[in-house]
Chains A and B, each alone.
Chain A
Amino acid sequence: MSRIAGLFARKNPVFIGFTVAGDPGIGASSGVAKTMIDAGVDLLEVAVPYSDPVADGPVIERAHVRALRAGTTPDDAFALVREVRGYAPALPVVLFTYYNIVHRRGPERFFSEAAAAGADGVLIVDLPVEESGEVAPYAARHGIDRIALIAPTTSPERQHAILSGASGFVYLISLEGVTGERDRLSSGIAGLVGAVREKTDLPLAVGFGVSRPEHVAAVAAAGANGVIVGSALVRLIEEHSSDETGMHEALATAIIALRGGLVPQSRT
């Protein structure tokens, strides 16, 4: 069983944390990842920094900018995955990337390097199912799950097409918009989880806008198998840019609080 499948079989729901490789600096990034893991992240999403992250809101975009200014390259992102793999051998890691990063290396090389680094899944945020044939064979060859995205605007026919090529887990986008913290969670989550649940046995994780313990609780109550928190953690890195100890404390405190929203469920 893959690390991703194993995690979801063992635990329900799971807590997924997001960080941009190289944020706030190439060296500091692995400390951030370790703090997140120690504080209770079950699965780590590592973003490869990119110059034009159109799916992201201002907080995560600034993290991409910080990472690029620090000189972070895809090689550094792979190195971070390798380090996490050494630190937490059983913890699943998903690389989150924009497609040009993959295209520039060539999908063959990208997936082979991702696998060698110890990544379990790759999520390409701007590669819809129509274009995903370009990477599918390489993901399969290297045993990497292709994490598919479904949005509230995805039609039932597209949901079918997307799910037919998905593996690992399915990433449900909670809202119509970019990443970023929101005061209130979108009201359509339970409906989306329910609709997709009828079409697949894969675990379903909900992200975008999930930023408070009560959001986490609501996502779990909606029947999701995982909740993904990004901007609410990334913001803490930015806010504590001159105080590394404070940053680690803030991250750990936030993750523990957010996790508190999770009530264990039996997997249906």
Chain B
Amino acid sequence: MKAGRYGIYGGQYVPETLMSALIELEETYARVLADPEFSRRLSWYLHEYAGRETALTFCENLSRDLGCRVYLKREDLLHGGAHKLNNTLGQALMAKFMGKRRLIAETGAGQHGVATAIAGAALGLPVEVYMGEVDTRRQALNVFRMELLGARVVPVASGTRTLKDAINAAMRDWVANLRDTHYLLGSCVGPHPFPRIVRDFQSVIGEEARRQVLEREGRLPDTVVACVGGGSNAIGIFYPFVNDDVALVGVEAGGEGLDTDRHGASLSRGSVGVFQGALSYLLQDADGQALETHSVAAGLDHPSVGPEHAMLKDSGRVRYEAVTDAEALAAFRYLSRTEGIIPALESAHAVAYALRAAEDLDKDGILVVNLSGRGDKDVADVANLHGGAA
């Protein structure tokens, strides 16, 4: 396979000006991978600062209810409330090793922006976060959180004013400020080497989960489920299981249904295309223009997906399914009441699918669900949707 490719997918489809930065990033990444000082410092931040390892919680009530053994991988317990910090600490530390003096990031729901602001504050790097104007209104609380953490939030008024336009704006900033700025991309998308770097930093989820389930059960799980926006929490938990006899299921945003044009299911309903630097699956029209997407979960509201998922879909190693807004909202409330855990709406998609997957498992079957984040950020939104009633 060509470097930076996952099967036919991936690559570096970027303006020439960016190529030098991608080459520098690739070289730095190879260097820090071999540097014991980098591993030592990252490990310190992950354990002492962020709170790793995260629990793999056996859910007694859920297991009784679903008729199989259900575990949640608790990325909601990571500092910041989502898996995003695994990646931002890794990349921010890398930026330090590169001598960069400034971090920029895009954010949709605000989770990656918050995680970047946290990493920037911890490592002493100023942070600017691009956020679609629509999202700054939808996620006003996270805007405040980022500002509290010392980051500057830049509303993006171009295009659809959501996540994809925030990525475009961050890329434009990066092109103009390559020498002192690191673009801290938040998912396993974009040009090589980003998909690889993000996957590696998120793989700690799967490495821990695999060890934890072996310790607890003496065997590997039957099924691992994760939600897929750009795909970083999913690739993080899947990757260490890829060569095992374990079913892997990625759950996309079904929005108002896959038969409508209001969803974010790029793998289930998209076609192959180049978007924001990589060849992957893409929701696009007949001419190649990216389509507007929809999901109740802002973090899944994106027209494309990481190239490694595209390869895993084609090879059949991972199955990709979709869950609608309504199913995710039901799962949001279900998990809250059944286990006392309020999931992020993104993660609620994985929970919703788990309810379906459990039907195929007997009582000894083991199901691991990646709970990528906690739902505090979504509580106000859900309250509005339900007219204030819980």
Beta-carbon contacts under 8 Å, B124-171 to A: 158-159, 164-165, 168, 171
* Pair A74/B287 contact, Cβ less than 8 Å: yes
Please give the distance in Å from A178's CB to the nearest CB on chain B. 5
Complexed CA–CA distance, A173 and B16 (Å): 9
- Among A51, A101, A152, max chain B CB count under 10 A is at A51
User: Which residue from B15, B164, B289, B290 sits with its C-beta under 8 Å from A55?
Assistant: B15
A221 interfacial by beta-carbon distance below 8 Å: no
* Pair A51/B290 contact, Cβ less than 8 Å: yes
Please give the distance in Å from B257's CB to the nearest CB on chain A. 23
Beta-carbon contacts under 8 Å, A130-188 to B: 130-131, 149-155, 158, 162, 173, 176-178
| Residues on A with beta carbons closer than 8 Å to the beta carbon of B175 | 55, 176-178
| Residues on B with beta carbons closer than 8 Å to the beta carbon of A155 | 20, 23
Could you write out 29 A-B pairs with CB less than 8 Å apart? A52-B276, A53-B168, A55-B17, A55-B175, A62-B158, A65-B159, A100-B284, A101-B288, A103-B274, A103-B279, A104-B273, A104-B287, A105-B288, A128-B13, A128-B14, A128-B16, A130-B11, A130-B12, A149-B15, A151-B20, A152-B17, A153-B20, A154-B20, A176-B175, A177-B175, A177-B176, A178-B172, A178-B175, A178-B176
B21 interfacial by beta-carbon distance below 8 Å: yes
* Pair B13/A127 contact, Cβ less than 8 Å: yes
Complexed CA–CA distance, A39 and B7 (Å): 50
B238 interfacial by beta-carbon distance below 8 Å: no
Complexed CA–CA distance, A151 and B17 (Å): 5
Complexed CA–CA distance, A153 and B14 (Å): 13
Q: Which residues of B contact A (CB under 8 A)?
A: 11-17, 19-21, 23, 158-159, 164-165, 168, 171-172, 175-179, 273-277, 279, 282, 284, 286-290
A252 interfacial by beta-carbon distance below 8 Å: no
- The DSSP consensus for interface residues of chain B is mixed
Known contacts A52-B164, A103-B274, A177-B175; is-contact A153 B286 (Cβ 8 Å): no
User: Which residue from A54, A101, A176 sits with its C-beta under 8 Å from B168?
Assistant: A54
Please give the distance in Å from B329's CB to the nearest CB on chain A. 29
Q: Which residues of A contact B (CB under 8 A)?
A: 50-55, 57-58, 61-62, 65, 68, 73-74, 99-101, 103-105, 125-128, 130-131, 149-155, 158, 162, 173, 176-178
* Pair A100/B20 contact, Cβ less than 8 Å: no
Nearest B residue to A103 via CB reads: B274
* Pair A158/B19 contact, Cβ less than 8 Å: yes
User: Which residue from B19, B172, B287 sits with its C-beta under 8 Å from A128?
Assistant: B19
Complexed CA–CA distance, A57 and B172 (Å): 8
Complexed CA–CA distance, A55 and B279 (Å): 18
* Pair B168/A52 contact, Cβ less than 8 Å: yes
| Residues on B with beta carbons closer than 8 Å to the beta carbon of A54 | 14-15, 168, 171-172, 276
| Residues on A with beta carbons closer than 8 Å to the beta carbon of B276 | 52, 54
Complexed CA–CA distance, A62 and B20 (Å): 28
| Residues on B with beta carbons closer than 8 Å to the beta carbon of A176 | 17, 175-179
User: Which residue from A65, A101, A103, A126 sits with its C-beta under 8 Å from B14?
Assistant: A126
| Residues on B with beta carbons closer than 8 Å to the beta carbon of A58 | 158
Please give the distance in Å from B183's CB to the nearest CB on chain A. 12
* Pair A150/B287 contact, Cβ less than 8 Å: no
Taking A149-B15, A173-B16 as known contacts, 8 extra A-B pairs with beta carbons closer than 8 A to each other, sorted by chain A number, are A52-B165, A55-B17, A103-B274, A130-B12, A130-B19, A153-B16, A154-B16, A176-B179
Nearest A residue to B20 via CB reads: A153
| Cβ-closest 10 pairs across A and B | A104-B288, A177-B176, A153-B20, A151-B17, A51-B289, A55-B15, A100-B288, A100-B274, A149-B16, A151-B16
Please give the distance in Å from B269's CB to the nearest CB on chain A. 16
* Pair A99/B19 contact, Cβ less than 8 Å: no
Complexed CA–CA distance, A50 and B158 (Å): 13
Please give the distance in Å from A6's CB to the nearest CB on chain B. 27
| Residues on B with beta carbons closer than 8 Å to the beta carbon of A131 | 11-13
User: Which residue from A101, A152, A153 sits with its C-beta under 8 Å from B287?
Assistant: A101
